[in-house]
Structure 1
Amino acid sequence: MTLSLLCVFPFYWMIVGMTNSSADITMGKLTFGNKLAENVTNAFNYSNLWRAFGNSLLLAVIVTGIGLLICSIAGYAFVVFPSRGKEILFLALIASMMVPFAAKIIPMFRMFSKMGLLNNYLAIILPAIGSPFLIFFFKQNAYSFPKDTLEAARMDGLNEYQIFFKIFMPMMKSTYAAAGIFMFMASWNNYMWPLIALQSDTKFTLPLVVANLASGFTPDYGMTMVGIVLSTLPTIIVFFTLQKSFVEGMTGSVK
């Protein structure tokens, strides 16, 4: 029970904070105040939170949709069409997970700069849609895909594309749900690379705008809490909506 309260407390403090003044938050007030309307008004007047929210939502949906398709096809292919060359490639993918992101920033910046994609959403989308972790995740879950079903589908005349889209994807929907939560949250909370790649205020994502709210000489914490709550809601909604499928996907269940 105590651990549950410790986990819930940051969310409670965040919601309480958006109803109090900056001074009250600094003093550690833990009860609801009467500054909610003022904080909301100031937050939306000071920065375009709705535009940033729309930018983040657009990127998260695109990255999640395309990323799930690419990573699942890769994971499926590693299992269904094994070969020595693919195993070497898979080991290279796993090894790439050990490279810290800080070591990739300069090469990525130079590459996208030469491609003319800086301050373009493609610079955010392209590095995110081929996640080595999710390829590994789909590969491990693809082992639970019944081989008898695969052989029966081939005997019925279905080609590999039909097997993947009409049989594999529906049967592995819990795996897709779990991977979708990971990818959506990673894209939604992405901060470092968008901070470097995006240079126009109109293209800023919500984490960048919320960070700007707190970067003033005398930050208004009540206003900042409004932005934090707004940036937290979508991930909470997505997680609780797909919670059951998430658990099934993490345990490798096949429907």
Structure 2
Amino acid sequence: MTKTMEAPAKAKTGKANHSTIQRRLIPAYIFLIIVSFLSVFPLLWMISAATNTSLDVARGKIMFGSYALENFKNLITQQNLWGAMKNSFVYSIVQTVASLFICSLAGFGFELYHDKGKDRLFGILLLAMMVPQVATMVPLFKMMSQMGLLNTVWGFILPSLSTPFLIMMFRQNSRNFPLDLMQAARIDGLSEIGIFFRMYVPIMRSTYAAAAVITFMNAWNAYLWPKVVLNQADAQTMPMLIANLSAGYSIDYGVLMMGVLFCSIPTMIVFFILQKQFAEGITGAVK
């Protein structure tokens, strides 16, 4: 009888504690909602500004308008939108694929093969992260000019083809790669190249996804180096197109925001598709 009476009492006590915890979490939820709104507001304002006239944007109108089609037409007539989108896609995809291959191969070698001088070489490589890009701009431009690579995809991607950050990222995550698996593959007669392509690449796919997101975004949003090496109108990228829209005495803010919206869509799509793998790759998860 006593046990029968204690059960409802414990249930009521548990419900009371649960409701108390929920009430205590209300300020935290309110804070998170406010922070989330502040984080999303610039994106919402960008989309809203792309649907309004330049005068409405200058006045600070936040509500969505009905001028999106006109802004899109003006953007197409003023700038080579599709050509810039094509160039950005080609440059970014080629740089992403080439960088992933080279940097992952370097990280694979630095971590999984033993040599007395590799740590010294890696330390020298990390020193390159401290050299600002502006310091190498002039010699790089002279090199690309002498090689005839101005206004080409290779002139765009060669300076960023191998970055110390990506090599370090692959090396750090390669520490979770099972060495016993490599030794078993060697016993079975698999070559070192076969181990890299058939075992290392599939197991490290989370790291590849994170590196792909970082490299694609950096290549897509690059402005300074493309501005130097791509000096023809038919070779411009999306950031260069937006810079052209913001130049001059009279700026159409509606058209400018429409261009920014088109420039932001590809990177948002890539991140949303690979966000789970991105989080796993950043934390060093190995499948």
Total equivalences in the alignment: 255
Within 2, Cα distance between the matches of 1:196 and 1:218?
25
Q: Structure 1: which 5+ residue stretches go unaligned? A: none
Report how far residue 116 of structure 1 moved: 2.1
Deviations 1:127-150 (A, max 9, x none): 121011000000000000011111
Report how far residue 244 of structure 1 moved: 0.8
- Equivalent position SS for 2:117: helix
Residue in structure 1 matched with residue 17 of structure 2 by the alignment = none
Structure 1 range deviating more: 105-114 or 158-167: 105-114
Q: Within 5 A, what are the aligned runs for 1:1-255?
A: 1-255=33-287
Structure 1 range deviating more: 44-53 or 98-107: 98-107
Within 2, Cα distance between the matches of 1:122 and 1:252?
31
* AA at the equivalent of 1:185: M
Q: Structure 2: which 5+ residue stretches go unaligned? A: 1-32
Within 1, Cα distance between the matches of 2:117 and 2:155?
29
Larger fraction in helix: 2
Deviations 1:191-232 (A, max 9, x none): 000001011100111110111011121010100111100010
Within 2, Cα distance between the matches of 1:205 and 1:17?
22
Within 2, Cα distance between the matches of 1:89 and 1:221?
50
Find the structure with the greater CA-based Rg. 2
Report how far residue 83 of structure 1 moved: 1.6
Structure 1 range deviating more: 1-10 or 56-65: 1-10
Deviations 1:12-40 (A, max 9, x none): 01000001111111111111111111101
* AA at the equivalent of 2:52: N
Report how far residue 113 of structure 1 moved: 1.8
Taking structure 2 as the reference length, what is the TM-score of the superposition?
0.87
Q: CA RMSD in A?
A: 0.9
Taking structure 1 as the reference length, what is the TM-score of the superposition?
0.98
Within 2, Cα distance between the matches of 1:84 and 1:118?
40
- Equivalent position SS for 2:104: helix
